[in-house]
Amino acid sequence: MILKTLRLMKTPISSVFGYRHLLEEFIGREIKGRFIGSVAGIFWTLIHPIVNIVVYYFIFSMVMRIQVKIEETGTDSFFVFFLSGFFPWLMFAESLSKSVGVLIENANLITKVVFPVELLPVGVVLSGAIINGVGMYFFLLYLIIIGYAHLTWLYLPLLILTQLFFISGICYLLAALCVFIRDMREILGIILMVWFYATPIIYPASMIPEFLRPVIAINPMSMFVELYRNILLIHRFSWMEFGLVGSFSAMSYIFGAWFFMRAKPAFGDVL
């Protein structure tokens, strides 16, 4: 039983490496599919992040002029504080939103062709990381220009990889559930809205009422956002904090991959 469970969890990773060329096709199709028929095409991956950054800069730095304490957040610019948590959230939320219907949208492919279905959620996660990574890249350039570059940034790839495992586990779970529960799209929209405001992205953690802090503290995305800010702005990296988010990522991937692979034989019948 244990060996069978381990094989189920190992299969998605094996498929990623064994069918990497097919995965590249899925990722390319996912990215191109978002902009097909548009005049600017793939350049929207550059336009969207730049426009977002300009809009948020105008709102938070010139209109609302919200203040944050440099002692707490590592910056006195709310614009910088906000974006350092917003881009990791975008990568998370967009991947979940796309994954929830990825199997239904590819029902004809799944029922007519024999291929590793587990590549579809991974393709959604990686394409989301690439698209939102463009915005993150421009944000990092901006931080370099204003003097935030630091050696702690070398931990960023490790943190991003860990977050991708966390996202992948949830995406596997959602993709499988949506095959049997078609209301998952609407349910997820509500969950993401609540989850966003339960994560200290548009407010510092010090603003959270005392009685709610234990609840917010166990929110995995709160931990990820704080780690990003610690690395980018405060220039501090804690292996203990990283170990905690790593544990959440491992649990997310293990359960999500196991559930997906257990449900996989039934996809053809339901779809």
Position 8 scores a pLDDT of 62
User: What percent of the chain stands above pLDDT 90?
Assistant: 44
Mean pLDDT of the chain: 86
Least confident of 40-54, 87-101, 219-233: 40-54
Helix (H, G, I), strand (E, B) or coil at 201: coil
pLDDT at 2 over 60: no
pLDDT at 139 over 70: yes
Least confident of 64-78, 117-131, 146-160, 229-243: 64-78
Residue 230 CA, chain-centre distance (Å), reads 18
195 contact partners, CB below 8 Å, separation of at least 6: 219, 221
Stretch 149-174: mean pLDDT: 95
Position 248 scores a pLDDT of 94
Phi-psi region of 66 (alpha: psi -120 to 50; beta: other; left: phi over 0): beta
Position 228 scores a pLDDT of 97
Structure tokens at 266: 């039934």
Position 4 scores a pLDDT of 60
What are the residue ranges spanned by the domains of the chain? 34-264
Q: DSSP class of residue 153?
A: G
Least confident of 32-46, 120-134, 191-205: 32-46
Contact in structure between 163 and 121 (CB atoms under 8 Å): no
Position 165 scores a pLDDT of 94
pLDDT tens across 32-56, in order? 777 665 555 566 666 766 776 777 7
Q: At 215, phi and psi to the nearest 5?
A: -70, -45
pLDDT at 117 over 80: yes
Position 213 scores a pLDDT of 84
Position 43 scores a pLDDT of 67
pLDDT at 246 over 80: yes
